[in-house]
Amino acid sequence: MLIKRAKGWELPESKTTPESHYLNRRAMVRAMGFGAASIALPAQLMAQDKSADPSAGLYPGRRNDRYGVPTPMTAEKLATTYNNFYEFGTDKSIWRDAQKLEVRPWTIKVGGMVEKPFEIGIDDLLAKVQLEERVYRHRCVETWSMIVPWSGFPVRSLVELCKPLGSAKFIVMKTLSKPSVMREQRDLLYPWPYTEGLAMDEAMNDLAFIATGLYGKPMPKQNGAPLRLVAPWKYGFKNVKSIVSVEFTDKKPKTFWEGLQSSEYGFWANVNPEVAHPRWSQATEKPLGSDQRIPTLLYNGYAEFVAGLYTDRKAEKLFM
Ligand code: MTE
């Protein structure tokens, strides 16, 4: 039997398991727990000033409020010190370790069902797209939520650049593999690299976003520098960080959490307050920094933009 120290990311506070418990893989997933948010803005974060990144002058992107500007905005220090980035550890306070991630040079490999595979550096990619800022709600499957200003560009712009074949049905994105820095990747109980994907029509939807910045600055490392997916109508685990690979395929990909626990996490993962996680309700959420729980909204409040994507997919498990 494989054993694993439990320090996970997704258990409501009421069910938090002490870190000292040693559990097998199944039990580990069952015991994923909340960590505590840091209080003060740490020195390393303060040091992440504009001179540190060659793309710093590009931020903030011009505000696009077409999809609403939800309030209240989450405090920057909370959104940048309370993170899920399993590669660096399974608790919420990985921001310090994540500073070891080097984000230049950074190359993204494009392949699979495309006219011609290619590689592109992050700064060349940034030169080809129009950056904008969008304030989106973010709803983690663990039931915490936040509202933050992302800078970036539509996934559609990335797709157009990649020139997928007409027969491609899914876009698949993967996180960097670097066990020397991303220590948790040495733990082979997880199906590394972190992999996520969208169906092509989801990827082409206006809301689907590649974020390269946050709070008007280049993306903090702990939030997924230099680029990550943001699909705000889905649970946060869809939003793969620190992307190095973009592939197109005609087969539905096996994603990271599906690979770990397919009875609890699926491909579509759309937010729905009426469909409970097997181990907890999804009816309400707790905004970071607030003591009050608030009702969760269908598609995280973005139904008017995305509900139409699923009218012909009713037979599938759309909400897990
Ligand atoms: N991407 C990678 N590579 N590794 C992760 O552990 N966690 C996911 C998602 N993307 C994760 C990831 C989860 S569960 C959530 S809720 C969001 O990132 C958290 O993003 P944030 O830390 O910027 O709030």
Question: What percent of the chain lies above the pLDDT cut of 90?
Answer: 83
What are the pLDDT digits (tens) for 123-138? 999 999 999 999 999 9
Find out whether the beta carbon of 240 lies less than 6 Å from any atom of ligand 1: yes
**54 has a pLDDT exceeding 70:** yes
Residue 208 has a pLDDT of 99
Retrieve residue 235's tokens. Answer: 């649970």
CA of 116 to the centre of ligand 1 (A): 30
Of the residues 239, 240, 261, which should be mutated to test ligand 1's pocket, given the most ligand atoms within 8 Å of the CB?
Answer: 239
pLDDT in tens, 63-73: 999 999 999 99
Mean pLDDT on 288-302: 98
Q: Which two tokens stand for residue 93?
A: 């306070």
Beta partners for residue 164, in sequence order: 114
| 64 alpha carbon – ligand 1 mean position (Å) | 24
Any alpha helices (H) in 169-270, and if so which ranges?
Answer: 200-203, 256-260
Tokens of 140: 């983690």
Give which of 236, 295, 281 is closest to 15, Cα–Cα: 281
Residue 6 near residue 27 (C-beta atoms within 8 A) = yes
Of 1-5, 58-62, 200-204, 273-277, which gets the smallest average pLDDT?
1-5
- Give 156-165 pLDDT, tens digit per residue: 999 999 999 9
| Ligand 1 pocket member 175 (CB < 6 A) | yes
pLDDT of residue 143: 98
* Distance between CA atoms of residues 227 and 210, nearest Å: 6
Check residue 264 and give its pLDDT: 96
Which whole-number Å values give the CA distances from 244 to 69, 138, 215, 289, in the listed order? 30, 23, 23, 32
> What is the number of the ligand 1 atom nearest to the C-alpha of 236?
16
Asked which of 29-43, 171-185, 263-277, 281-295 is least confident by mean pLDDT, the reply is: 29-43
First to last CA, the chain: 28
Judged against a pLDDT cut of 80, whether residue 251 lies above it is answered with yes
pLDDT of residue 52: 66
**Average pLDDT for residues 193-221, to the nearest whole number?**
98
pLDDT value at 28 more than 50: no
Q: What's the Rg (C-alpha) of the chain? A: 18
Closest CA to 104 of 86, 125, 85: 125
What residue has token string 């972190």? 194
Q: Is a pLDDT exceeding 90 seen at residue 14?
A: no
Q: Are 60 and 216 in contact (CB under 8 A)?
A: yes
Per the DSSP assignment, residues forming a β-bridge with 148 are 136
Cα distances (angstroms) measured from residue 188 to each of 124, 154, 179, 191, 286: 34, 33, 11, 7, 32
Are 154 and 82 within 8 A, CB to CB?
no
- The candidate with the shortest Cα–Cα distance to 94, out of 52, 146, 44, is 44
Q: What's the whole-number mean pLDDT along residues 15-24?
A: 33
Asked if the model's pLDDT at residue 10 lies above 50, the reply is no
Q: Are 232 and 137 in contact (CB under 8 A)?
A: yes
Question: Which of 47, 132, 34, 133 lies closest to 91, judged by CA?
Answer: 34
> How confident is the prediction for the chain on average, in pLDDT?
88
- Alpha helix (H) residue ranges in 31-187: 43-46, 76-79, 95-98, 122-128, 155-162
Sign of CA dihedral 300, 305, 307, 309: negative
Banded pLDDT at 2 (limits 50, 70, 90): very low
Mutate to test the pocket of ligand 1, among 7, 11, 84 (most ligand atoms within 8 A of CB): 84
Q: Which residue has the CA at smallest separation from atom 9 of ligand 1? A: 237
Q: Atom 22 of ligand 1 has which residue's CA nearest to it?
A: 83
- pLDDT computed for residue 320 by the predictor: 85
Does the Cβ of 239 fall within 6 Å of ligand 1?
Answer: yes
Q: Which domains occur in the chain, in start order?
A: 19-307 (3.90.420.10)
Q: Phi/psi at 50 (nearest 5 deg)?
A: -65, -30
| pLDDT tens-place string over residues 226-235 | 999 999 999 9
Probe target for ligand 1 pocket from 77, 81, 85, with the most ligand atoms within 8 Å of CB: 85
Q: Best mutation site among 10, 94, 196, 237 for ligand 1, i.e. most ligand atoms within 8 A of its Cβ?
A: 237
pLDDT at 50: 44
Q: Is 86 in the pocket of ligand 1 (CB under 6 A)?
A: yes
Q: What is the pLDDT of residues 86-124, one digit of tens each?
A: 999 999 999 999 999 999 999 999 999 999 999 999 999
For residue 201, give the nearest of 168, 241, 240 by alpha carbon.
Answer: 168
Q: How confident is the model at residue 38 (pLDDT cuts 50, 70, 90)?
A: very low
For the entire predicted model, the pTM comes to 0.87
